[in-house]
């Protein structure tokens, strides 16, 4: 992980946190940070399955914002970890609405990066009347082309990582690499799903940042959440129609939005951010010239904090 950017606000602890049972299988972890009378903001983490980090609280002025964060189904402190059953985009949207109602919030700013941008767009297009605006990073629309790039296209930049990724899969199954991984990740045999989860998480994690970083210690929580849920959502097209998030942009086009994108993001390449910006009149695109995918890369972090600071002052981003 890179050094913490100086633009972030100081570390802060939640004012409240807890668990919410959302159905007979899933219980989600939530936390509230900042000023209880501040501007409400919803933070949506990536993955899916990556879960929260204490750093996520630090994009917001705690004196001005009331920040609601949660671990999505199967991620982080939510239980059961890595559970893919009863786990769809539509159910995550229902969970968000449960949280909004629980906290007594009428409308909130929606902040999400990577898969969090996918979920933010899907939530906003389902409930535009509940949104004040959007701060989005590393855009992922979960189209077939993006999934193909994630699995195969990236070999043009990281051939050694791609070779490691396909090595555990027999040559006879590699024509459908996503299916091969999904069969292993979503089975009930830990001897099959643990190696697959670790291979998947490593394949993604080692290409997050533009510049090489000191490799983090392995995390079973991260590996299982990311491996299982990314494969599950990609195999199902995020439970959306192809390119739905672009075709339905009219539902939220009246709302302010800032899009922050790393120029050299090889997980969520800039084309998706460019397409979203082009379809969304009035949106602002901040293309960071010296960044990859990581939210904590200096230019990206500065742009994200700049967006929340602008919204704090003016209710818009320009």
Backbone angles phi, psi at 266, to 5 degrees: -100, 5
Q: Please tell me which residue in 265, 272, 277, 283 is annotated as part of the active site.
A: 265
Selection from 297, 298, 296, 318 nearest residue 307 by Cα: 318
Binned at pLDDT 50, 70 and 90, residue 271 comes out as very high
Measure the CA–CA gap between 58 and 228, rounded to whole angstroms: 28
Strands 27-34 and 16-21, by their bridges, are: antiparallel
Percent of the chain exceeding pLDDT 90 equals: 93
**Confidence check: pLDDT of 219 > 90:** no
Q: Quick one: tokens of 213? A: 């970083």
- Residue 106 catalytic? no
Q: Please tell me which residue in 26, 45, 277, 293 is annotated as part of the active site.
A: 293
- The radius of gyration of the chain's CA atoms, rounded to the nearest angstrom, is 18
**Confidence check: pLDDT of 1 > 60:** no
CB distance 146 to 140 below 8 Å: yes
Instruction: Indicate the helix (H) or strand (E) that contains 300.
Output: helix 298-314
- Report the b/e string of 286-295 with b at 16+ CB within 10 A: bbbeebbbbb
* pTM metric for this prediction: 0.96
Greatest C-alpha distance within the chain: 58
Q: Please tell me which residue in 26, 71, 78, 114 is annotated as part of the active site.
A: 114
**Tens of pLDDT along 104-159?**
999 999 999 999 999 999 999 999 999 999 999 999 999 999 999 999 999 999 99
Mean pLDDT of 26-52: 98
**Confidence check: pLDDT of 214 > 60:** yes
The pLDDT value given to residue 216: 67
Structural domains for the chain = 16-143+239-314 (3.40.50.1820), 144-238 (no CATH)
**Confidence check: pLDDT of 213 > 90:** no
The pLDDT value given to residue 311: 95
DSSP assignment of 187-246, as one string?
A: SS-HHHHHHHHHHHHHHHHTTSSSS--PPPPP-HHHHHHHHHHHHHHHHTGGGS-TTHHH
Q: Angle, to 10 degrees, between the axis of helix 190-205 and the axis of helix 220-235? A: 90
**Tens of pLDDT along 247-266?**
999 999 999 999 999 999 99
- Residue 95 catalytic? no
The pLDDT value given to residue 317: 75
Side by side, the strands of the sheet bearing 108-113 are 16-21, 27-34, 65-70, 39-44, 108-113, 131-137, 257-262, 284-288
Binned at pLDDT 50, 70 and 90, residue 315 comes out as confident
**Tens of pLDDT along 44-55?**
999 999 999 999
Mean pLDDT of 66-93: 98
**Tens of pLDDT along 189-202?**
999 999 999 999 99
CB distance 258 to 244 below 8 Å: no
- Residue 265 catalytic? yes
Measure the CA–CA gap between 48 and 250, rounded to whole angstroms: 25
**Confidence check: pLDDT of 282 > 60:** yes
The whole-chain average pLDDT of the chain stands at 96
**Confidence check: pLDDT of 96 > 80:** yes
**Confidence check: pLDDT of 59 > 70:** yes
The pLDDT value given to residue 171: 96
Taking phi first (over 0 means left), then psi (-120 to 50 degrees means alpha), and beta for anything else, what does residue 105 get? Answer: beta
**Confidence check: pLDDT of 178 > 70:** yes
Selection from 88, 11, 15 nearest residue 56 by Cα: 11
């Amino acid at each position: 992980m890179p050094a913490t950017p100086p633009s972030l606000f100081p570390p802060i602890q939640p004012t409240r946190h807890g668990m919410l049972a959302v159905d007979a299988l899933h219980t989600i972890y939530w936390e509230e940070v900042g000023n209880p009378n501040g501007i409400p903001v919803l933070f949506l983490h990536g993955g899916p399955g990556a879960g929260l980090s204490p750093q996520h609280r630090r994009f917001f002025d705690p004196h001005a914002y009331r920040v609601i964060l949660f671990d999505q189904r199967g991620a982080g402190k939510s239980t059961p970890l890595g559970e893919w059953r009863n786990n769809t985009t539509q159910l995550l949207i229902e969970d968000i609405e449960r949280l909004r109602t629980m906290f007594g919030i009428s409308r909130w700013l929606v902040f999400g990066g990577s898969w969090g941008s996918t979920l933010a767009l899907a939530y906003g297009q389902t409930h535009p009347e509940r949104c004040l605006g959007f701060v989005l990073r590393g855009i992922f629309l979960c189209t077939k082309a993006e999934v193909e790039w994630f699995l195969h296209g990236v070999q043009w930049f990281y051939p050694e990582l791609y070779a490691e990724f396909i090595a555990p899969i027999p040559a006879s199954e590699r024509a459908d690499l996503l299916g091969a991984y999904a069969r292993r990740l979503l089975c009930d045999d830990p001897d099959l799903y643990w190696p697959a989860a670790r291979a998947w998480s490593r394949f993604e994690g080692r290409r997050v940042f533009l510049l090489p970083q000191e490799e983090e210690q392995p995390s079973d929580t991260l590996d299982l959440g990311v491996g299982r849920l990314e494969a599950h959502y990609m195999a199902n097209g995020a439970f959306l129609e192809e390119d739905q998030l672009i075709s339905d942009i009219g539902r939220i086009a009246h709302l302010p939005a800032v899009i922050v994108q790393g120029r050299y993001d090889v997980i969520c390449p800039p084309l998706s951010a460019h397409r979203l910006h082009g379809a969304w009149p009035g949106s602002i695109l901040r293309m960071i010239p010296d960044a990859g995918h990581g939210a904590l890369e200096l230019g990206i972090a500065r742009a994200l904090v700049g967006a929340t600071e602008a919204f704090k002052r003016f209710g818009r981003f320009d």
